[in-house]
Structures are given as C-alpha cells and as structure tokens.
Amino acid sequence: MKKNKFLMLLTIVLFFQLSCKEAANDKATFKTEPNTSENEAAPYNLDEQYFNSTIDGKEAKLFWISNDGIKVAITNYGGRIVGLWVNDINGNSTDVVVGLDSAKKFKESTEPYFGAIIGRVGNRIAKGKFTLNGKEYNIPTNNGDNTLHGGPDGFHNVVWNAEKTDAHTLELTYTSQDMEMGFPGNLKVKVTYNATSDQGLKIEYEATTDEITPVNLTNHAFFNLNGEGSGTILNHVVQFNADKYTPVDSGLIPTGKLESVKGTPFDFTTPHTIGDRIETINQQLTNGQGYDHNFVLKGTKENGMNYVGSITGDRSQIKMEVYTEEPGIQFYSGNFMQSKNTFKSGAKDDYRTAFALETQHFPDAPNHPQFPSIMLSPKDTYHTVSVYKFSINK
C-alpha cells in the first residue's frame, strides 16, 4: 500500500514538473515569436509590439509586404525599410537591408537615416541656404555648416500615414506644412513601396505643392548583400553606368563641376570591388573619407528607366540592380559607421559593413543653376520611380 502511494505521489510530482516545463517553454516561445498576424515567421523575431508606438501624437507600426522571392518589413516611422529578405546562392533567406528592431531604437539611433525616406531635399544644401524668387531661405544645419537630408526634422523623423492596399503594396502619405524646416509651401507627399513578382522593390514618389519649393526625395536604405551583420562590404563587386561624378569640397558640397571618372578611383564603368581603390591617395576620397559622392548617370535605358548598374555580394552572390528616373546616384560606403548601434540581428553597425545607393537629383542643386533643377511649382506634379531588383549572379 505504501509502495502504491509512493508511486502515485511520484507520478503526480513528475506530471507537475513536466507541466511546468511545458508552460515555461510555451511562455518562452510567446516572448520570442513575432506578435504579428501578417507574418507568422518573421525573421529575427521582429515583433510588432516594439514598433507600436506613439511618436509626436501619431501611431507608428510595422508593416510587411511580399511577393515571389522577396519579403520587406517597413515602419511608417520615417517610412523606414527595416529589413528586406531574398534568397542567396544556396537558397538561404538573407536580409540585405540593415535595420533596428524597434521604433524607439530608430528614434534614438546615432545614425538617423537607416532605411528612411529622405526629404524635402535629399543630400546637402550648402550653409543651409538657398535663394528663390529673390528671397533667401534658411534651413537648419545638421551636418557641420550644412543641411543634410532635409534638416534635423526631415521626413526621416515623421510618422507617415500608412495604408497597405494589398499583400505587395504599402502607401505612405505625409503633408509637410509651409515653412516646415524652413522650406516654403505646403507639400503633399505620397511614397509607395511595392514588392514586385520579379524580386524587386519598387519605390514611387509623388508630391504636389501650393508654392514653388525644392523637392528631391530618396530612400536611405543601408545594404549588405551578404546579409546584415556579415561583416565588411569592401569585397562587394560594383559596376555603374556613370562616366562622370560631382566632386566635392571638404564639407561634401559639390564644386559645381562634372568630372570624368576615367583614370580615377571613381571609375566603376568596369567591375571593381568597393575596397579595390578606396584607400588610394586621392583628395576626393579624403574629402569623403571614402565614397560619399554623386555619380552622373549616362542615361543607359532599360525598361524605360536609367539603368544605374549593379552591386553583387561576394559571398551570397546576391546581385542588386538599380533602375531610376533620376539623373544621379549617391554612393556611400559606410564611412561614418561607428559600432554605436545594434542591428536587429544582434550585430553592431561596424565601420563599412553597409553601403547606400540613393537615387537622386544632384546635391546642393538650388545653389547650382547648371545642375538639373529640383524646383517644384504648383502647376506641376513631382513624380519619380526607382527600382531595386535582386537576383543570383551567374
């Protein structure tokens, strides 16, 4: 009898321990799996609860769009691309856009432009000043003596209205008020992200204004085609359809000239790795602390757009081709990354572990009348499209 009681007691204890262990496991799973109804297997355990935030009185969220072979996470805080997944040469899902795992981390980041929509005016404005119809406008400076990417509270720092129109498409809208960041006119902006069936991310920009104003919109995704946190991008192979570039001074403001890339470290008309010539003794590389320059596209057309060229990850063999209706591309080689932020994968944003390709009109265009104009008048609609297309290099 005592033996039976002992066995019954032992059974109850074991059952209780097993139940507690399973409950603990269930609890751990709940904590690590993504809290999202739209994406049951979100990479890096991206959890929408860490993006559900109220910022400046508006609601920030995390959104997913996808299509055959491509998946994209976007937050409407700054219109940021949080991550972008495509398969590498071995069929492994690879995140080629670096990002952070919460709206709070994006807001507090020492790098404010990770993945963000940039505006009203992408790139730099010298001394934060330009003259329009005889009137001088002053934009807050946030890059030494100059204004960078629309000023400290540019479009990267606002919460956009968001509508997911289908599984592939996210529409973001924002109205920039007259004199916001010093820019004239009420500017209504719509940016549409579309994941295409051929493994592309199409970004369409539209804007209207009630007063003439400069507009130069772009996206500042930071890419590593070997995958977020995989190390240096210096062995990525680059080829651009650009035979000229705009040299800059020590403040990265264009001199106003268009110079040939021939015979310089800026000649990517034939394939070179990013690191091939980045340490070359060259005043322009010194000014940029590497590549941080606008390349002038030759106008090589494919699918009715300027074909920028391609960058290929040396390990993943993921090839990214860029198409745009813009005349230029800013190539940035991650020169100012300082290991101060932690990516969603847990890796640090180490020096030159990501690059940017920003489709654009030329930097400081309002102060260089010889550059293509970025002035938008009330009678016109700003409209431009850029596409980042992914494939396996063969």
CA distance 344 to 101: 5
CB atoms within 10 A of CB 54: 10
Q: CB under 8 Å to 394, separation ≥6 — which residues?
A: none
Round to whole Å and give the CA distance between 56 and 103.
Answer: 13
Amino acid identity of residue 215, one-letter, is V
Tell me how long the chain is. Answer: 394
What CA–CA distance (Å, rounded) separates 169 from 287?
Answer: 39
User: Which candidate in 220, 236, 293, 361 is catalytic?
Assistant: 220
How far is Cα 106 from Cα 104, in angstroms, rounded to an integer?
A: 5
Chain-centroid distance of CA 10 in Å reads: 59
368 given a catalytic annotation: no
Q: What single letter denotes the amino acid at residue 293? A: H
Tokens of 325: 């209706």
Rounded Cα distance, 390 and 319, in Å = 6
In whole angstroms, what is the distance from residue 174 CA to residue 60 CA? 13
- Sign for the CA dihedral angle at 357, 362, 365, 368 comes to positive
118 in Cβ contact with 67 (< 8 Å): no
Tally Cβ neighbours within 10 Å of residue 178: 13
121-141 exposure pattern, b = at least 16 Cβ within 10 A, e = fewer: bbbbbbbbbbeeeeeebebeb
Q: Which of 293, 321, 358, 361 is catalytic?
A: 358
Q: Is the dihedral of CA 261, 215, 79, 337 positive or negative?
A: positive
Bridge partner list, 383: 206
Instruction: Give burial (CB, 10 Å; 0-12/13-18/19+) of 14.
Output: exposed
3-state SS class at 69: coil
220 has catalytic annotation: yes
- Catalytic residue numbers read 220, 358
